[in-house]
Amino acid sequence: MRQAEEVLARHRDADSPQHLVIGVTPWIGQTLLAHVLPPYRAELPHVQLELFDGLSRLALPLLRDSSLDLMIGRIPPPETMEGLQTKELFTYDVTVVARSDHPRAGVRSIAELLDQDWILNFTPNERAAAMENLFGQHGYEAPRRRIHLAHSVALSMTLVQQTDMLSLCPWPLVETEGRNSGLVLLQLRERFHASHVGVVRRANQALPHAATRFLAHLMEQTNACLASNDPRLKRVFRSVELLAEEQPAS
């Protein structure tokens, strides 16, 4: 009913006030969002935006209870996707990070880090997959009393910078936050599963026009940034692979 009312209102008055609520993963918020908003606002000046940090623990409950219209963020494991659907946009590698003068900064194996504290981000349903990726697939048991959660990128990066905590960090976030912040990438022999970022939305529901246009501008600006000569953007987009070149379906 709400969706039908929105469609009717849009046809009655294209300039009627609207509200669009989106979760955005941090590295996209720090790179693409500033390029997306000006043309989006020029096209739809009557849409008020409300932006949330697109970390799964915070965004998925809001998405399910209709407080969030869509999320541009990490694709959760399939077993956590009840009631949701996704379209992948990017994939990227992840790496272990520490402060530059960390006493274990020179180690070459995850085996030498099992007695360290970790600050990570995942939902309760993602814990098993996260522990398997970081430890289990390499033959090690997760040090459960050493695993801590932070549902804020700013908080987790601050803790890594100022303590001996370690984190598993997306490469594009390393490029946006880590290069000049005293962080070091550990040169480990082990490799970790790539992460996927895309559009996460409620299943079997049409997106509002404002959301569809936001996604169109996102893809347009993604392609523009891929061709940019800006050194920072070039570093970020060298660390990701674009999977979707078309506008996500509405």
| Alpha carbon 236 to chain centroid, angstroms | 14
Tell me what pLDDT residue 250 has. 41
Tens digit of each residue's pLDDT (9 = 90 or more) over 111-168: 999 999 999 998 888 899 999 999 999 999 999 899 999 999 889 999 999 999 999 9
Using alpha carbons, select from 112, 83, 108 the residue that is nearest to residue 187: 108
Contacts 24+ apart (CB under 8 A), 62-67: 62/21, 62/23, 63/23, 63/200, 63/201, 63/202, 64/202, 66/2, 66/202, 67/21
Distance, in Å, from the CA atom of 96 to the CA atom of 123, rounded to the nearest integer, reads 19
Could you read off the pLDDT of 175-185 as tens digits, one per residue?
A: 887 566 789 99
In the block, tokens 């996102």 appear at 218
7 — pLDDT class (breaks 50, 70, 90): low
Position 28 confidence tier, pLDDT thresholds 50, 70, 90: very high
Chain centroid to CA 133: 17
The model's pTM is 0.84
What pLDDT is attached to residue 149? 96
pLDDT in tens, 31-62: 999 999 999 999 999 999 999 988 888 888 89
The secondary element (H helix, E strand) that includes residue 185 is: strand 183-185
pLDDT band at 12; cut points 50, 70, 90: low
Domains and CATH numbers, the chain: 2-92+195-242 (3.40.190.10), 94-185 (3.40.190.10)
Spatial contact of 65 and 16, defined as CB atoms under 8 Å apart: no
Q: What is the pLDDT of residue 248?
A: 42
Torsion angle of alpha carbons 83, 88, 94, 97, nearest 10°? -70
- pLDDT band for 249, please (50, 70, 90 cuts): very low
User: Is the confidence at residue 227, as pLDDT, over 60?
Assistant: yes
Q: How confident is the model at residue 10 (pLDDT cuts 50, 70, 90)?
A: low
The confidence score (pLDDT) of residue 16 equals: 61
Determine contact, residues 64/36, Cβ cutoff 8 Å: no
Work out the mean pLDDT of the chain and round it to a whole number.
89
Place of tokens 């000046």: 45
Cα 65 from Cα 219, distance rounded (Å): 26
Asked whether residue 17 carries a pLDDT value surpassing 90, the answer given is no
The answer to whether 141 and 135 have CB atoms below 8 angstroms apart is yes
Query: What tokens appear for 36 in the block?
Result: 């997306």
User: What residues contact 198, with CB distance under 8 A and at least 6 apart?
Assistant: 72, 73, 75, 86, 87, 88, 89, 90, 243, 244, 248
DSSP assignments along 211-237, one per residue: HHHHHHHHHHHHHHHHT---HHHHHHH
**β-bridge mates for residue 85, sequence order:** 201
